Amino acid sequence: MARRHLFVCTNARSSGKPACGANGSTQLIGEIQRRLVEEKASDVLVTPCGCLGPCFDGPTAVVYPDGVWYGTLTVEDAPGLVEHLISGTPLDAKKTEPPGSS
């Protein structure tokens, strides 16, 4: 079982509504995966997923089981997200409130 699991929204849509997939989330996942291999982190996972809800704050992601949500992510956030996955220390600068909590 994975110690931590990061889900990153890669949703795309043609309606013109904001979507994480058009804002670099696929590149972010690639960089995270590259760094996890480099760190030999075999007990954490990163998985692309569909819409998580807060589309206007995308790219959006969530780490389980911690329940920590992230928004406005860029590929430059990959090191901080990898740090969270490995050590459990969140990337405070990009944390957001869970959808529906405010």
| Interacting residue ranges for ligand FES, rule: CB under 6 A | 9, 11, 19-20, 51-55, 58, 60
Output phi, psi for 18, to 5 deg.
Answer: -55, 145
Q: Which is nearer to ligand FES, 26 or 41 (by Cβ)?
A: 26
Total number of residues shown for the chain: 102
Q: Which is nearer to ligand FES, 28 or 85 (by Cβ)?
A: 28
Q: Which is nearer to ligand FES, 45 or 49 (by Cβ)?
A: 49
DSSP string spanning 36-74? HHHTT--SEEEEEES--S-GGG-S-EEEETTTEEE-S--
Minimum distance of ligand FES from residue 62's CB (angstroms) = 10
Minimum distance of ligand FES from residue 33's CB (angstroms) = 19
Minimum distance of ligand FES from residue 19's CB (angstroms) = 4
Output phi, psi for 78, to 5 deg.
Answer: -55, -45
